[in-house]
Amino acid sequence: MTSQCGSDSPDGGAVMSEIETAIFTIITSAGEARASLYQALDKARAGEMAESEQCMIEADTQLKKAHDVQTELITRDLNGSLPMSLLLVHAQDQLMTTMSEQSLIEHMIGLIRDIGMNGGK
């Protein structure tokens, strides 16, 4: 009888654990980045532009971390050693959504900065 967990092979459990760790790194890093992005927007709306910029830097750091892990997984996939899972699809979705939100929030903060410089005119 075969196990449903894929740990019948000598390294099957370890490989899956490594992949799951990578997937959760993408999810948590994207989530932390998203939180920093919205904090940056809140800071900008409050006129705290230096703090807003710091939050954007933190978000960018987290997104780079997630993107680096994603690149490692893509390399594994190209080598045919990455099992597909719903959790992996979720991680990809979280990362792509956060990257889109980053772009929008950067533009929104730019608008806030422009309005502030022009006195709302």
> Which residues make up each annotated binding site for Mg(2+)?
93
CA–CA separation, 29 vs 69, rounded Å? 10
Please give the biggest Cα pair distance in the chain: 73
How long a stretch of residues is the chain?
A: 121
Q: Tokens 């597909």, residue?
A: 84
In the annotated binding site, the residues are: 93
Question: Three-state DSSP class for 46?
Answer: coil
CA–CA separation, 37 vs 53, rounded Å? 10
Q: Which of 45, 64, 90, 107 is catalytic?
A: 90
Question: Three-state DSSP class for 89?
Answer: helix
User: Is 107 one of the catalytic residues?
Assistant: no
Please give the DSSP secondary-structure letter assigned to residue 6. S
For the annotated catalytic residues, the residue numbers are: 90
